[in-house]
Amino acid sequence: QKEVEQNSGPLSVPEGAIASLNCTYSDRVSQSFFWYRQYSGKSPELIMSIYSNGDKEDGRFTAQLNKASQYVSLLIRDSQPSDSATYLCAVNQAGTALIFGKGTTLSVSS
């Protein structure tokens, strides 16, 4: 069974802090990795994708990938209350379907 694991949280950080969200996956042949943000009652929204080992930065967001450790993370710098949401990690094993983790709920307090 191919699995994607995330800590369900909630992860609570104060406004302006760095939020660190983590994800591990079981299938070593996974090739592409995505982070989605989902506000309560809304649909998942893509915020980052990463395919190679290392860091990828986009504004306040940094995705980190370590294929040897089967680990992908998302850092959110200068966290804002508007970042409060559930963050979904998704992994693709070179096929067509994504496997999603159950999500980590982030709460940013002002």
Partner 1 sequence: NAGVTQTPKFQVLKTGQSMTLQCAQDMNHNSMYWYRQDPGMGLRLIYYSASEGTTDKGEVPNGYNVSRLNKREFSLRLESAAPSQTSVYFCASNLNLGGGYQPQHFGDGTRLSIL
What residues line the site for partner 1 (CB under 8 A)? 8, 31-32, 34, 42-46, 49, 51, 88, 90, 92-103
End-to-end, the C-alpha distance of the chain in Å comes to 40
Q: Which is nearer to partner 1, 71 or 100 (CB)?
A: 100
Burial of 9 (0-12, 13-18, 19+ CB in 10 A): middle
In whole angstroms, what is the distance from residue 55 CA to residue 74 CA?
Answer: 10
Q: Which is nearer to partner 1, 79 or 89 (CB)?
A: 89
Shortest gap between Cβ of 93 and partner 1 (angstroms)? 7
Q: Which is nearer to partner 1, 68 or 97 (CB)?
A: 97
